[in-house]
Structure 1
């Protein structure tokens, strides 16, 4: 809306300003008279523009008020439709719940009937199992009496269950010891095989290292000859490194000064360390990019300003 209003006034201003002046007989007016004539025309154009601006503003306010009323009516209509839809959904939900509850009750009755039949069958099976267990108990009573006689003949245990637990513990311990012995035998055989393998590898490595020792002795003599050459090169590198260190210190100092200037003039708060030159350069780069963008925006704004579209008059 703001862009359309600007274009509207610019077009109206150009129409009023660029209107062709009628030919007059007094072409020999003085420059002062012509300037007064131009100023009078500018006042008339400005008054016409103000009048059109007020008319356009009144129309805009009327349209905005009408749009607000339409939105309010639309919200009321939406609210009514939402309440009606909610009422229909609640009634449908109640009907579905009632039907689902009736179906669940029928299903529950069927399940209870099936559960009753299952329990009857299970009760008959448990009675049969009970009779079998009683018969088995009568057969195993002979072992119970035997264990009781053994318990009476020893002072180590107080109950029969203690003897049974001790026997089970001994059986489990024996099984673990047998498993451990088998694992130890396997481990011993594996260690023997690895020992033989390591012995063979050691012999081969000794021969190989003897050959490498002879080669290294020759390389050592050659390396000693190269040491003197590399020492001279190292001295040259140290001199170059000192120069580069001095140059780097100057660059770091210049970067820090530039960073302080930018943060001071741009009012930027930062927690960058004084030793972090790369972050300082990155911050300087960002500031220059921002300044470049601001300059481009200002230049573009000057080019697109409405005053640049008004023709000049001599």
Structure 2
């Protein structure tokens, strides 16, 4: 576009600056001043032509600038229009989508309404059939209505048949409630009997278990009593044996005491031994017997083939030295 503008300006300047043909003057005949004026005139014409060309170029440039601004504004307007058109298209697509969705919903609603209408038609048909049946039943129960009116006339307690029916309905409800209560009480009673039987069974099993334990305890008690009797008999035997041993020990102590007293009295040995010290008394008796045996041995001549009887050894580990008693050398 810049090359076209440059070519256009070049052509316009070339056409405008083309000078008009100056009449041929004879250079020889013209004066220098005249030639100078002619040149000045040509230069002025060229200046005017250039000025007019500049003014035209400036105006054209202004028009071009205005045109450029108009084009920019037009471009902005077109962009706004394009944006608005895009928004319009989007809104139109959204509206179309909503319209399609509403159409689908409308078709679904119409289909649902058709199904609902079909269902209502079926219900209406069923209600009409029920109406026919109720009418037939009413026709068949008309005699009962006459009977109820006759009963109402005979009783004279109610104003109309509905009041009488309401009264009898209340009585029937109370009867049904009482029947339900009686049934509930029967159930509770059955549950109570079941619990009682369960308790009885548990008590019986507990009683059997207790009886078994009692029998075991009684058997254990009998065994314990038998053991106690055996222990008592054994203890009695031990006590009797201990009494016999005690009696024998007492007799032995009395015998030892008698021997001790006889030995000390006969041999005149001082008896400074306690009466309860039986062992010391027995040792003293043994010592006395040993003394007598030694004296007998010294006094009696020895015979071949004869030997003195051996006396028992004293019970104590060390021989006792009684005051005034003579102890044989062997005991020393």
Larger radius of gyration: 2
Using CA pairs under 8 Å that are at least 6 residues apart, name the structure with larger relative contact order, 1 or 2. Answer: 1
- Shorter-chain TM-score category? 0.3 to 0.5
Relative to the length of structure 1, the TM-score reads: 0.32
